[in-house]
Amino acid sequence: MVGAHLGPSHPSGQGAVWHSFVSAAVYNAVVGIQGRYAPYKWRVKGPSTASPEAAAVAAAHRVLLDCFPASRTRLDAAYADSLAKIPDGRAERQGVAFGERAADHILKLREGDGRHAPVEFNAAPAPGVWRPTPPDQQPYLDAWLGRLRPMTLTSPDQFRPGPPPALSSPRYARDLNELKAMGGKTGSGRTARQTETALFFGGNLLVQFQTGIRDYADRHRLGIADTARLFAAANVSATDAVVASWDAKLHYGFWRPVTAIRMAGTDGNPATAADPKWQPLAPNTPPHPDYISGHATVASAVLRAVTGILGTARLDLHVRSEATGTARHYKHADQFNKDMIDARVWVGVHTRTADVVGCRTGNRIGTWVLSRHFQPLGRAAASPVSQVSQTSQRSQSSQPAPPKCPS
């Protein structure tokens, strides 16, 4: 059950929230039994004789059932299948009990955190201000994410960046003219490879990371504690990146490219020109503001957490896209960030500035998360679980530099 795909498929960061709850509960359940790493906001130890596998399964099931009660039948079936792979007996019973306790702790921590609270975007339409975009004209989606209590940050606006470029600025004109030339559905200057890149990152980024991290853990033979740690650091970072990016979206409320290009005659910038019929390559622009890019912020935060946990700038991540049916292998996080930033421009839904600033914000969030959570308990002994695990333990005092965000 660990690493299952959670949450909605619409273009919201909401799915990251459920992933982080499950991953944090599983992590606490496993390291509470095995030790080695400091639990997330918890000081409880489990029985050393308990099964960490049973604890992980029970923790995931309990959190998922609380978050998705309508899916009980499917969740109970998956739970039974997972437990059937673990030998019956005292260790299993102890593991289940401790896993449920770990889950209850996370659920208690998240009570009253602002999920689904009524948050409205009320800015009046004006040049530079977000409004529903064609063709569907959907209302602002999941505005509550920008007010959600973060998993680790002190507040949603802790890493809020400065404002987007002024409409009259040369930088704004460069952003808009690049989008107009490279992000359109027709008449674009994109190459075939650039179009594939644009579409590759048009699917569910959270699913791409879950499957990629699981594949990495399998190929590198990570043990259960190292796997739980990797997922927890990545998914907790993703949630705080979603909160931070939605906070900026709510605060600045900057219009999307499709609106900006069609209404360029109102922006007061002599270097831009309106195209009332312009359409992005993406069939639908996500229904929330441009600045900052949620995709770029989440990707950067996750990659900062993953490379920090692994203790190496080398990523070795296989990523698949349900949008294109293709797969890519990323050796380095820098290349992933570059492709992500380019993709959101070339698909026509984000300005380059929104992507670059999002990437830099994500780096700061990932660094913050690792500086406070998911660290070893003292100097952990070398484990035969995996060479990567040993490298991670040795590298805590010498973390790799954060992945780069191209300008």
pLDDT tens, position by position, 247-282: 999 999 999 999 999 999 999 999 999 999 999 999
pLDDT surpasses 50 at 380: no
Task: Provide the percentage of residues in the chain whose pLDDT is more than 90.
Answer: 87
Neighbours of 91 (CB within 10 A): 19
Amino acid symbol at 128: G
**Alpha carbon 305 to its chain's center:** 11
Task: Name the pLDDT band for 11 (thresholds 50, 70, 90).
Answer: low
Task: Name the pLDDT band for 299 (thresholds 50, 70, 90).
Answer: very high
Task: Name the pLDDT band for 391 (thresholds 50, 70, 90).
Answer: very low
Does 383 or 38 have the greater pLDDT score? Answer: 38
pLDDT value of residue 203:
82
Task: Provide the percentage of residues in the chain whose pLDDT is more than 70.
Answer: 92
End-to-end CA distance of the chain: 39
Q: What is the mean pLDDT of residues 177-185?
A: 97
Amino acid symbol at 124: A
CATH architecture type of domain 143-394: Orthogonal Bundle (1.10)
pLDDT tens, position by position, 143-160: 999 999 999 999 999 999
pLDDT value of residue 400:
77
Closest CA to 363 of 308, 310, 288, 291: 308
Amino acid symbol at 168: S
Q: What is the mean pLDDT of residues 206-224?
A: 96
Neighbours of 322 (CB within 10 A): 13
Query: CA-to-CA distance for 162 and 65, rounded, in angstroms?
Result: 40
Parts of the chain belonging to CATH 1.10.606.10: 143-394
Q: Which residues contact 332 (CB under 8 A, 6 or more apart)?
A: 313, 314, 315, 403
The full DSSP string for 51-84 is -HHHHHHHHHHHHHHHH-GGGHHHHHHHHHHHHH
Q: What is the mean pLDDT of residues 70-89?
A: 97
pLDDT surpasses 90 at 238: yes
Average pLDDT, the chain: 92
Q: What is the mean pLDDT of residues 378-384?
A: 41
Neighbours of 279 (CB within 10 A): 18
Top mean pLDDT of 11-25, 335-349, 365-379 is at 335-349
**Residue entry with tokens 């990797």:** 230
pLDDT surpasses 80 at 386: no
Identify whether the C-beta of residue 22 lies closer than 8 Å to the C-beta of residue 206: no
Identify whether the C-beta of residue 314 lies closer than 8 Å to the C-beta of residue 332: yes
pLDDT surpasses 80 at 348: yes
Task: Name the pLDDT band for 35 (thresholds 50, 70, 90).
Answer: very high
pLDDT value of residue 407:
75
Tokens of 113: 């955190």
Q: What is the mean pLDDT of residues 190-199?
A: 96
Task: Name the pLDDT band for 378 (thresholds 50, 70, 90).
Answer: confident
Q: What is the mean pLDDT of residues 21-26?
A: 98
Q: Which residues contact 2 (CB under 8 A, 6 or more apart)?
A: 22, 23, 26, 56, 57, 60, 227, 228, 231
pLDDT surpasses 50 at 174: yes
Q: What is the mean pLDDT of residues 228-249?
A: 98
pLDDT tens, position by position, 310-329: 998 889 999 999 999 999 99
Closest CA to 374 of 237, 221, 250: 237
Task: Name the pLDDT band for 1 (thresholds 50, 70, 90).
Answer: very low
Closest CA to 121 of 148, 142, 150, 149: 142
pLDDT value of residue 20:
98
pLDDT surpasses 70 at 4: no
